[in-house]
A and B are shown apart, each in its own frame.
Chain A
């Protein structure tokens, strides 16, 4: 201690103390935050998985998104989009895209779950971003379907129709129907805002509220839906139109028949 005591009034002593404290705080912060990150159940990618993901990325995605996911003139950068965006795009079959365009249609996924997870881990390792939600995060047990409906009507129904049947956007784009979407995909779509969709982050629409919305979207599918071509659950309107036109034709023919001169039976 005498060494310190002897130098504590040195002109540089104050700077040394401040620098030391900053280093200690910085180190502690780094340890704490990395500990928090590793506590997430999804964030357990190992280097082998990331390497697999890297290889798959080069094969499947790099043509458009660039060798290092930095983006090209044809496709956006994927740095920072997170594993959730990858999982959504790949599990809905939108990526790898069949052709360049503003929108990609939902189709059977080209990559299996392991491959998807590998690419997601690789993209997540590049710049972080939203992670794939856990099963508990998308569970609809105990969700408030009523609140989910209110939120869906306020913020989703404008494009996706009030029961998630989808609808038209500008210049030929469209909001897809949600009839085949899994709860995980719905959650990821809200989190990442794929294609033209706005983002609903976890601070604006909380995870609990996202579960409520998922509960509404999935529950409304099983509600009774009379009629065939229901036009997004507006009811049996198309059948009504056909019946109306049919009856109208029938009535016109009946009127013709009633007033027509029939055979000369009485003359």
Chain B
């Protein structure tokens, strides 16, 4: 506010003021006229100003005069600084003007460049798409950047740099305006026969009803609820374990090197991404005696004190879900030295020798284990589905 009262150039000659439009110049009303036209006075005074035939929506005759005016008629208002007659340094202003014009011309050229690039480059091939995107984006960026730079130079070097204080006025319309609006509205309502002809009115309302209900139908597409689909995978008794990538079934005899690991999926579903999203499995081969079943040898994980590891293995081969029980990342980082299965997302660590129970990290449940066996040809098969939902927790999980 201190600048508002700075000396400025308030005593500049009236003749020099022609450079700025009338409404920007600090008008000096004589106190008498300000008293009757100010909005504060208007609340009481407007009514006595005689007939007032103003079209609704056009500015009030007082508005133009209240921009810099004060409700109390200016008797106590701080003196507004006068706007300078024009830029202080005409040469400087001329330079700025040329600079602004140059920016705008360049922006125009960049705009034409956009049109030309669009027309010439086209999107026939990947390379052309890349070039087209680069050219279009570059031109458009240049247009807006140059417009912005030009505008900023304009504001900073050509426009006056004086702080003006604009008072906030009551927003309520005058009684006359309010009465006029009411009258106009009622006239219009009567003239349109909206009230008189209920048939038109009601059919119009009926016509819009379906639109109002439509969002409810669109919301329905957020469903249906997943039901039991999160509880089950496609694994079932008898499905062979196929190596991911090659789709080959695996015999227990082939998967014979201790420390081996391979990603597998259920027979017939390897190309079904929806199914594989839940059914991905890793199998790991251990040396005899490495796998521990039953209650954990060491005190179990805090959240599962009674964890009992089932013996669902065959030939020391064990199969675990590849989907981490934390948030569902593929947990397949297996260290054959420590028997840790690590999830790369949040470092949940599972012990592959003890039913993949949690050793560390944010996961709270062991990786679900797939019961496996061998069929008559020696290939590894599932002997049943997972006995619990795979992947992260969800509301309805039992």
Contacts and interface: CB of A to CB of B under 8 A. Distances in A.
A201 B337 CA distance: 17
A158 B330 contact: yes
B46 interface: no
Taking residues whose C-beta sits less than 8 angstroms from the other chain, chain A's interface range is 20 to 34
B255 interface: yes
A154 interface: yes
Contacts of B310: none
Given A154-B263, A203-B255, A204-B260, A265 B335 contact: no
A9 interface: no
B88 A199 contact: no
A245 B89 CA distance: 38
Taking residues whose C-beta sits less than 8 angstroms from the other chain, chain B's interface range is 35 or more
B336 A196 contact: yes
Q: Chain B interface secondary structure, helix, strand, loop or mixed?
A: loop
Contacts of A205: 262
Contact of B84 (A102, A173, A196, A267): A267
B128 interface: no
A168 B259 CA distance: 19
A170 B344 contact: no
Interface in A45-77: none
Interface string B253-293: 11111111111000000000000000000001100000000
Contact of A155 (B84, B254, B261, B342): B261
A242 interface: no
B320 to A, nearest CB: 13
Given A102-B337, A167-B344, A267-B161, A204 B84 contact: no
A79 to B, nearest CB: 15
Contacts of B155: 258
A173 B336 CA distance: 12
A201 to B, nearest CB: 4
A168 B340 CA distance: 13
B192 interface: no
B262 A204 contact: yes
Given A204-B250, A204-B260, A151 B245 contact: yes
Given A102-B337, A193-B336, A195-B337, A201 B246 contact: no
Contacts of A262: 156, 161
Contacts of B334: 158, 198
B316 to A, nearest CB: 13
15 contacts: A151-B246, A154-B243, A154-B245, A154-B262, A155-B245, A155-B262, A158-B330, A158-B344, A169-B335, A170-B347, A198-B261, A198-B284, A198-B336, A204-B255, A204-B257
5 A-B pairs with the lowest CB-CB distances in the bound complex, closest first: A203-B254, A198-B261, A196-B335, A158-B332, A154-B244
Interface of B: 3, 6, 8-9, 84, 87-89, 92, 152, 155-156, 160-162, 243-246, 250, 253-263, 284-285, 330, 332-338, 340, 342, 344, 347, 349, 360
Given A155-B244, A158-B334, A265-B92, 12 more contacts: A154-B262, A155-B263, A168-B344, A170-B342, A170-B360, A196-B336, A200-B261, A201-B256, A204-B243, A261-B3, A261-B161, A266-B160
